[in-house]
Amino acid sequence: MKIVADLHLHSKYSRAVSQQMDLFYLEEWAKKKGIDLLGTGDFTHPLWFSELETKLKEVSEGIYVLKDHSSAAVNFVLTCELSSIYSQGGRLRRIHNLVFAPSLATAKKINQELTRRGVNLLADGRPTLGLSAIHLAELIWSLDENCLIIPAHVWTPWFSLYGSKSGFDSLEECFGNFQNKIYAIETGLSSDPAMNWRIEELKNRSILSFSDAHSPTKLGREATVFKIKNKSLKNQVNFSFKDLAAAIKQEKEAVWEISHTIEFYPEEGKYHYTGHRHCQISQSPQQTKTKGFICPVCGKPLTVGVMSRVEELASFNSQILKKESHYGVIVNYSALSPNRPPYIMLVPLLEILTEALKTSSPQKLLKAYENLIQNFQSELTVLIKTPIEQIAKVAGERVAEGIDKVRHGKIVIKPGFDGLFGLVKIWPERNEKTPLVKEQMSLF
Ligand SMILES: [Zn+2]
Ligand SMILES: [Zn+2]
């Protein structure tokens, strides 16, 4: 038994988020995507919190379902993201942290304490605090030591732990002595586990991936999959907040553990390469080594992309071992630490359909999407474990070919930079012939 978890997302009460991010649509889309466990997101927002209080019921310790859920319930766990802006060591720092709470009662206490300290929780589902990461850790764990704090999308330049613009060089610099209680980091869309395997201090920490979705269709574009660790306990299907925490902390006696993560191509993320959006300058780490960090157009410093920043902080190279699953999905293992959970790279089904069907009409795309989901249960099943011939029968040869190419990693991506998303090409045009897989190997 496996649990597909997406624990970083935002409700309709966060800025720039779809009005459809409410409990009804979250449950509906989680099922379409094949997600079993969702974060609530935004539990600090007073209006969202009161919805959670009235509409959720606890089914096992710290795990909730909708009171009036449809036949197969989706599980929820209480999560939020906090944005800290403060100065340390004479520099302005900005970092986003995820907080997972073991109960509605603890979430309520956190909200009360933040309000008491003058934080305006109504302003945004992802509130901004003047508290440093150290003070935040102190506050959260003084209220409930079972909470988890997880630095979010750790490589984005502007708002993250290792961010090139306003981040830190190490967990210790950011969290002081509390670094011992930081058991995991989130990769974010612009990095994949292999990039994080290169960082010494992350050696024994968990690498998590979640979607950071702002609309229902983006749910699960990255996810973390849990499995039962000890095969003799297979009949124990209970999953509580404690089980989730024990798996993330990699406790010896944990019943569950991380099986693998599902990744967006990091090149698709908004900050993969170094560059300037307005000046249309984009540089790979190799190009940056020779050309430097100053924009040749405007003369100002370029926004340093995730790849270059990883190069700066990395202690070793990571070698990837690629193995193919039964249905042709490439699974990426760490050659240095084979016991680390591996990962697979996917392209969201709606993106594949857009290119395969040569349309951007939402109605046409959703119709093709629903047709596949109704036949094969969920997006994840379609992407990784439905025989290609069966997909061809339902959706046509070209869609089947697209999914097969994604499984084998035979796609090309124009990397994102300085806030601009990368562009996926499953069927590259003649002048875009560099296969991504080759390029990726040379980077590591
Ligand atoms: Zn964030
Ligand atoms: Zn410029």
Phi, psi of 312 (to 5 degrees): -65, -40
The band of 432, judged by pLDDT with boundaries at 50, 70 and 90, is low
pLDDT over threshold 90, residue 236: no
- Asked if residues 256 and 247 have their Cβ atoms less than 8 Å apart, the reply is yes
pLDDT over threshold 80, residue 427: yes
How far is ligand 2, taken at its centre, from the CA of residue 83, in Å? Answer: 27
Q: Report DSSP state, residue 100.
A: E
Report pLDDT digits (tens) over 324-337: 998 999 999 999 99
How far is ligand 2, taken at its centre, from the CA of residue 228, in Å? Answer: 50
pLDDT over threshold 50, residue 197: yes
The band of 232, judged by pLDDT with boundaries at 50, 70 and 90, is confident
For residue 2, the cross-strand partners are 227
Ligand located closest to 214 CA? 1
Instruction: Determine the average pLDDT of the residues in 197-219.
Output: 96
Ligand located closest to 98 CA? 1
How far is ligand 2, taken at its centre, from the CA of residue 298, in Å? Answer: 4
What is the rounded average pLDDT for all residues in the chain?
Answer: 93
The band of 283, judged by pLDDT with boundaries at 50, 70 and 90, is very high
Q: What CA–CA distance (Å, rounded) separates 210 from 224?
A: 7
Spell out the alpha helix ranges (H) of 277-345.
285-291, 306-313
pLDDT for res 435: 44
How far is ligand 2, taken at its centre, from the CA of residue 282, in Å? Answer: 10
For 183, the 3-state DSSP assignment is coil
pLDDT over threshold 90, residue 247: yes
pLDDT for res 293: 92
Q: Whose CA is closest to 304, among 274, 270, 266?
A: 274
pLDDT for res 70: 65
Which residues have CB less than 5 Å away from ligand 2 (the ion)?
Answer: 276, 279, 295, 297-298
How far is ligand 2, taken at its centre, from the CA of residue 18, in Å? Answer: 32
Instruction: Determine the average pLDDT of the residues in 404-425.
Output: 92
Ligand located closest to 303 CA? 2
Ligand located closest to 274 CA? 2
pLDDT for res 289: 87
pLDDT over threshold 60, residue 117: yes
Instruction: Determine the average pLDDT of the residues in 135-149.
Output: 98
- Asked if residues 100 and 7 have their Cβ atoms less than 8 Å apart, the reply is yes
How far is ligand 2, taken at its centre, from the CA of residue 302, in Å? Answer: 7
Q: What CA–CA distance (Å, rounded) separates 38 from 49?
A: 15
How far is ligand 2, taken at its centre, from the CA of residue 343, in Å? Answer: 35
How far is ligand 1, taken at its centre, from the CA of residue 152, in Å? Answer: 6
**Positive or negative: CA dihedral 115, 46, 98, 258:** positive
How far is ligand 1, taken at its centre, from the CA of residue 81, in Å? Answer: 7
How far is ligand 1, taken at its centre, from the CA of residue 96, in Å? Answer: 5
Ligand located closest to 154 CA? 1
